[in-house]
Amino acid sequence: MAPSTVVPNIVKSPLDKREYRGLVLPNDMKVLLISDPLTDKSAASLSVAVGSMNDPKALPGLAHFLEHMLFMGTEKYPEENDYSKFLSENGGSSNAYTASDHTNYYFDVSPKELKGAMDRFAQFFISPLFTESATEREVNAVNSEHEKNISCDSWRSYQMECCTANPDHPYSWFSTGNKDTLWVKPRERKVDVRASLLDFHRQHYSSNLMSLAVLGSENLDELQQLVETLFSDVTNLSIATPEWPENPYGDAELQTRIEIVPIMDLRHISLLFPIPDVSQHYKSNPEGYLSHLIGHEGPGSLLSLLKEKNWVNSGLEAGSQVPARGFGLFKIAADLTEDGLKNTDAIIRHMFEYLEMLRNLGPQKWIWDEMRDVNAMLFRFKDKEPPQSYVANISSSMHTYPLSDVLSANYILTEFKPEITTEILGHMVPRKSRVTIVSKDYTDKTTLVEEFYGVKYNRKVIEPERITEWRNCSINAELQLPPKNEFIPSTFDLKVREEQRGIVPRTISHSSKSRLWFLQDNEFNMPKAVVKVEIFSPLPLLEPLKANLNHLYVAAVKDVLTEYSYAACVAGLHYNIINSIYGIEIVVSGYDHKLGLLLNRVFEKIVEFNVDPQRFEVLKDVYLRELKNFEDEQPYVHASYYMTYLLRERRWSNQELLNAMEDVTLEKLMQYSKEFMSKVKFEWLVHGNVTAEEASDYVKSCQLNFKKKGYRALLPLQTCRLREINLPKGSNHLFQTEHKSHVSSCAAVYFQTGMQERRANVLVELLENIANEPCFDQLRTKEQLGYIVFSGVRRAQGTQGIQILVQSDRHPVYVEGRIDNFLDILKKTLDDMTEEEFLQHRNALFVTKSEKPKKLIERSNLIWSEISQQLYRFERQAEELTDLGSVTLEDVRAFFNIAMGSGSVKRKRIGIHIISMVDGGAGRKEAENNLPSSEQSIVDDVAAWKLRQFLYPASHPSGYKSKP
């Protein structure tokens, strides 16, 4: 066998300690090897340059179907779930996706088991089985996935982009497929679907179209030998990489206005231009330059002008994409206000005014230089990424960029090419545009219906006089280029380390009004910091009206901060203000040099609260629609919502919040802001490249804003956290509700196990780890109940338990019965489990729980979780890993029998049924077996039911080693 070709000099971030090697195998497969001796997970991803646009026209969705089928057994490993079972037993997971021009498969696993995982993975591309039985069953999974998407507005809008393109272009075809396109109609035409899958794999899955990225703890030579041994047998057909140089939007598809009726109450406008594929110009990034300017949110921006006119809500998106090799698209999009919907032509005119300004001024070298410097800074201090997502992104990028630049592409800019920017702008003109508007206002006014999603829409030619008006638009003096970015940091020094405290923060100030937790970072050693603060107020829990006012308070502050904060975001300094049941939470993270400036400005705007009356109406409308749109969320979302609604001591229902919106006024919001500021308690975490003195200064400076308003401390009982319902032993409750948007229904069953405690935590996690893969295999793969099958640990208010959820077209009563059947299978699995098998599962959980945060913000989130839950188990990971080592198979069996076993008198069980009442939904089909079991206690009045229940105590740190 000929040797592999080594590609040297992979450009990496200066602080990246991983080692890299590029290879081209003898069969022309491109490979990037990544050696990281300290990795806690190994990972691999293979991307093949074949996607849905390679589908035969007569078999829409075949590439996506094949992606599903590769998981269903190979000649060497014929068991359908061998791959997923192996990964699950070794602390790993996997997934895949099908794009227009490529399909990506990826996994992660314990570093010790990379070879076994890679061997199974390689067989996907060498000898898949595509058995008859799996083919017939898995088409149902593809169909369930499609049915899940039918009522999803993002999928519907994407399909409308595709189906209104050139009908002869493969971009316009139905990409995901369903049972009709992949099974019913082919069989009517005597087409052998399994044979078609085999043919597609043989014809397209050529090694020279494949890019493989592998990250392991082995050295580069060992990784190279592993890859060469396992992947050299992938067949090389030496076929040309598929490209589509013709844009799917030709003259016949341009100067077109598409009007779409959404499922949810949305108002949205987008302006789309076909542009060339300029991927080869990644060292100049001309489309990134345009995205940066058009999508800017600072003073003089297009967004600021449209917000000033109260035509858009909060954000404006601008960016290019390459849906498939050979052609590109550039889109400008915004979320509309009610007034904006009436002024769409004027909004588009303003968009063209901005583009005309850019053409008139020409590409600005100083702006490109600033973008170059910021990107170089981001690359220099690039955070480490989780192995699985890292390799998945790299393998796909390997189709576009040379191996040497695959890590640095679009970060390291070295070539200013104004002529390419000018060329793209030349395509962004009225005669080459398409307009799409989404609104409920078009209900009953449409004449067309899309075939696969049932989208109601209109397709109109834009009037020539309108095109002429846009073409002749003049420069608008209100539109300007952004000023020089003052937030770009210039100091990247690491502060003198004051102490070595590992991952446990300390309190450096504590009073009835405020507590400051501080931890100087010694783990990531980046010039970055994170500040988190909760401004606790009991007001949002008093009544739904105040919960609504709290939401709008946060929304109004964020709205007024947009212009100021956007430049900070561009420079790698991010903030968020979060509406909470306990008041307001603020997060500021990024480069520490100018973090204090942004943090203080956020506090100033919270205290010096003021909102324009027109913007108030806009924000109120947005929130009102959010509340109403909840009814159209997926059934599984409703199931999770109702589980929390039933089990949390107090939660305002969506309907209660909606009813209370009738009383929301600007005057009440202004009064609420004053009331909020009068009595609060601050909980702070400052973590990263900061000193204790700087942390104290942040707190003093920010709280001084409140101090000027004379705020007072809360009483201890006013700061109590909510508690969780303690279900009675032997309980079997059921809550049922209807769904009127989706054809699918959902059943969720939760087994409450008690309070979170060290040993109990690992028992719950170990039992769920054992159950997870068999649950998916039984309910999803074998029984094909639905695309969404989930099992997991649910934790809330210091309690925990195990939940199983299935979204299905079958009635929830039937589905819950199948969940019970699975629990019987699980019991037998545990009873028959050998000690060796048990230790395999325990080791898998050990691998998962041993994973360390890859970024500073991830460590901050873990610390903050302990603080906000008032558990203070900062060394939770090490403590629970110690406890895990002492858990036995008998412990798990006994735990299952008590917590989930069918005969247990101590079991605490509650079910949620979301029943579809649309045409074809389970609730519309009469059947005798759709009645709940007589053993279940029906919850029909939630408030009355809650009043009869006991509560768990509040979270407490007793029994934990690390306390405040």
Contact 333, 348 (CB under 8 A): no
The tokens for 463 are 């009037």
Q: How far apart are CA 254 and CA 272, in angstroms?
A: 9
Strands 528-536 and 681-688, bridge-based pairing: antiparallel
Residue 799 phi, psi dihedral angles, 5° rounding: -110, 175
Q: How far apart are CA 686 and CA 704, in angstroms?
A: 17
The tokens for 329 are 């698209």
Range 936-940, long-range pairs (CB < 8 A, 24+ positions): 936/732, 936/733, 936/734, 936/911, 937/731, 937/732, 937/733, 937/734, 938/733, 938/734, 938/735, 938/736, 939/646, 939/733, 939/734, 939/735
The separation between the first and the last C-alpha atoms of the chain, rounded to the nearest angstrom, is: 63
The tokens for 248 are 């799917």
Q: What is the DSSP string of 68-127?
A: HHTTS-BSSS-STTHHHHHHHTTT-EEEEEE-SS-EEEEEEE-GGGHHHHHHHHHHTTT-
Kind and range of the H or E run holding 38:
none
Q: How far apart are CA 237 and CA 29, in angstroms?
A: 11
Contact 792, 803 (CB under 8 A): yes
Contact 956, 798 (CB under 8 A): yes
Question: Can you give the three-state secondary structure of 749-762, one letter per residue?
Answer: EEEEEEECCHHHHH
- Smallest Cα–Cα separation from 321: which of 521, 171, 472? 171
Which residue in the list 19, 67, 649, 875 is annotated as catalytic? Answer: 67
Kind and range of the H or E run holding 822:
helix 812-832
DSSP class of residue 187 equals H
- Smallest Cα–Cα separation from 774: which of 814, 822, 821, 705? 822
The tokens for 584 are 């307001």
The tokens for 626 are 């959010």
| Three-class SS state of 763 | helix
Contact 193, 139 (CB under 8 A): yes
Lookup result for tokens 């939630």? 942
631 is catalytic: no
Beta bridge partners of residue 23, listed in sequence order: 6, 31
Q: Which residues are catalytic?
A: 67
